Amino acid sequence: MLTPRLAPLARRLPHRLRRPPGSVSGGGIGAAVGRALTVWRRSVSARVVVSTVLLSAVVVGAVSWLLVVQVRDGLLDDRVRSATAEAETETVQAVDRLVGGSDFDVASQLELVAAPLSQRGAVRGYEVLVARSDADPASDLTSSGSISSPGLDLTSVPRSLREHFTGSTQLAWAWTSLRTTDDDGTTSEVPGIVVGTQVQLPADGRPYTLYLLFPMEQEQETLALVTRSVLVADALLVVLIGGVTYLVARQVVTPIRLARKVAERLAAGRLQERLRVSGQDDLARLASSFNQMASNLQRQIQQLEELSRVQRRFVADVSHELRTPLTTVRMAGDMLHDARTDFDAPTARAAELLQVELDRFERLLGELLEISRYDAGAVALEVEDVDLRDVVERVVRQTATVAATSGVRVDVREPGRPCVCAADGRRIERIVRNLVTNAIDHAESRDVVLTVDADEHSAAIAVRDYGVGLAPGESAMVFNRFWRADPARARTSGGTGLGLSIALEDAHLHGGWLQAWGTPGGGAQFRLTLPRHAGDQLRHSPIPLLPADAEPVR
């Protein structure tokens, strides 16, 4: 059978919209899309509702399409059955009339067949065409002595159906576009079905085909009505599903949002915040568990804070209490050190070692006191304009003896222009001295390079060595208190393990960065970055943390 050639069942809606004055431009559309994407990323309920609506639309659309297809096939099958049954009935009646009028000529017999059919067709709504079956299917039907209903376009009979009756007498049908012309000259074209049967005229013994053409306007209107009804029902159903999904998602997401807000307040330090528990469902049990967790965290944090306060107080008290005996021991040690030339060799050496260890012990006490001041929040900056080039020069002079003793050459690279920033000069100098001393201690008799640079917003100092370097993960641990990469390794500077921790606190106090990079055997680089103006926020550094001469990681 031929495929139905039905007219489009859905009418196109107007799609050209005029832009009113002051309407949204391309940038506004982009901003709206950005806001929609933000809502999509941040809102669980929006994702649930949109996903459910889209999936529901697909499912409802598929079901509706199947329903429309079933209705269409049912209408078409019913129309085919009624058309073929009517064609068979009319063929039998036509044969009976031909038998009764066997004495007529060919024209009279054709009229005897076509005239009653045309009259009944005008009443029942179908068209009639009687044509010779042995005529060339490619020829025009008007030239083969055919008779048809008034106004019927004979091309409405498909060529494939005419070819069928050149070698067969069986009833056949096909889909077609039925074209007719009214009395006022108006031409119309509707989908239809044409049924053909073959009869033989007694006058000349030739076979003739009786074509009955049935319009399908009623079926088309019925299918259009069903389609519109299904589309409206689909739209209402999808909207209803979206509303129900929104209500359900809101019931689930609202407690989660409340939990998020309470968690944010807990993270901000408001440890007394709790969720309200109502009911006995899963969300209520979740709220109870959350509150229990928050209570445990609050208790543990309070215990840790109390322990931290006790530890800080202990460190501060011990440091202060050790000051007095240290002063006494220092005086005695200085006297012994000054008189060491009068002692024998072992006693003189002991006096020198006592002086060295006293110096180290005094530095340790000073750093412990500095750490306790940071912990107590009792540190204040004395801000002034500081040229980092001058700071580097002073530090290089101060550490020249240690560098020479270790066989290390310190190289300074500066841009030849002022690198001024608002900072506490004493603390910045302490940071740089700590970094340079640490680099000398780990350089293994290789060079140490100090780089100074600045731009419009920030100034930086980088200290690069080519010694043992840092293992993966140690670039963050190196600033921990009392942490040492290799405790068994000999140190020439007599460090205490607090220098980098104090340096990091000093950098943070300025609103700056103190960062480390290193690879095993490839050396390390420490970078101090400071804002040019006090209170500014850093966004970048004029010196890259990864050195240009760093070997790629394999």
Which CATH architecture does the domain made up of 274-379 adopt?
Orthogonal Bundle (1.10)
Say whether pLDDT at 3 is over 60.
Answer: no
Averaged pLDDT for residues 531-541: 89
The C-alpha atoms of residue 109 and residue 116 are separated, in whole angstroms, by 12
**pLDDT confidence of residue 13:** 32
33-268: CATH homologous superfamily? Answer: PAS domain (3.30.450.20)
- Greater pLDDT, 422 or 21: 422
Averaged pLDDT for residues 514-525: 90
Amino acid identity at 93: Q
**pLDDT confidence of residue 143:** 63
Residue 236 Cα distances to 53, 59, 119, 161, 231, angstroms: 12, 14, 48, 45, 9
Domains 274-379 and 381-531 share a fold: no
Could you report the per-residue pLDDT of 338-370, keeping only the tens digit for each? 888 888 888 888 888 888 788 777 777 777 777
Amino acid identity at 4: P
- Greater pLDDT, 357 or 464: 464
Could you report the per-residue pLDDT of 23-45, keeping only the tens digit for each? 444 557 878 888 877 877 777 78
Termini Cα distance of the chain: 71
pLDDT interval class at 496 (50, 70, 90): low
Say whether pLDDT at 15 is over 70.
Answer: no
Q: Backbone dihedral region of 117: left (phi > 0), alpha (psi from -120 to 50 degrees) or beta?
A: alpha
pLDDT interval class at 535 (50, 70, 90): confident
The C-alpha atoms of residue 128 and residue 122 are separated, in whole angstroms, by 9
Averaged pLDDT for residues 374-387: 79
pLDDT interval class at 20 (50, 70, 90): very low
The C-alpha atoms of residue 100 and residue 363 are separated, in whole angstroms, by 137
**pLDDT confidence of residue 17:** 34
| Structure tokens, 151 | 């106004």
Say whether pLDDT at 332 is over 80.
Answer: yes
The C-alpha atoms of residue 288 and residue 286 are separated, in whole angstroms, by 5
433 contacts: CB under 8 Å, gap ≥ 6: 395, 398, 399
The C-alpha atoms of residue 258 and residue 286 are separated, in whole angstroms, by 12
- CATH class of domain segment(s) 381-531: alpha beta
Could you report the per-residue pLDDT of 101-146, keeping only the tens digit for each? 666 666 777 777 778 888 888 888 888 888 887 777 777 776 666 7
Q: What is the mean pLDDT of the chain?
A: 82
- Closest listed residue to residue 433, CA positions, set 405, 461, 466: 461
**pLDDT confidence of residue 292:** 87
Alpha helices per DSSP H over 268-338:
282-338
What ranges do the domains of the chain cover? 33-268, 274-379, 381-531
pLDDT interval class at 389 (50, 70, 90): very high
Residue 366 Cα distances to 319, 326, 361, 435, angstroms: 8, 12, 9, 18
Could you report the per-residue pLDDT of 64-103, keeping only the tens digit for each? 999 999 999 999 999 999 999 988 888 888 888 876 666 6
Averaged pLDDT for residues 394-407: 90
Say whether pLDDT at 519 is over 60.
Answer: yes
**pLDDT confidence of residue 278:** 79
**pLDDT confidence of residue 470:** 87
| Other CB atoms within 10 Å distance of the CB of residue 205 | 7
**pLDDT confidence of residue 10:** 35
The C-alpha atoms of residue 180 and residue 189 are separated, in whole angstroms, by 7
> CA 254 from chain center: how many Å?
23
**pLDDT confidence of residue 27:** 55
The C-alpha atoms of residue 381 and residue 379 are separated, in whole angstroms, by 7
On whether the CB atoms of residues 402 and 440 are closer than 8 A, the answer is: yes
Proportion of the chain above pLDDT 90, given as a percent: 25
- Strand ranges, E, within 12-106: none
| Other CB atoms within 10 Å distance of the CB of residue 430 | 18
Say whether pLDDT at 490 is over 50.
Answer: no
Could you report the per-residue pLDDT of 434-451, keeping only the tens digit for each? 899 989 988 888 999 999
**pLDDT confidence of residue 252:** 81
Say whether pLDDT at 498 is over 90.
Answer: no
Say whether pLDDT at 493 is over 70.
Answer: no
Could you report the per-residue pLDDT of 184-238, keeping only the tens digit for each? 878 888 999 999 998 887 767 778 888 899 999 888 999 999 999 999 999 999 9
**pLDDT confidence of residue 115:** 81
Say whether pLDDT at 312 is over 80.
Answer: no
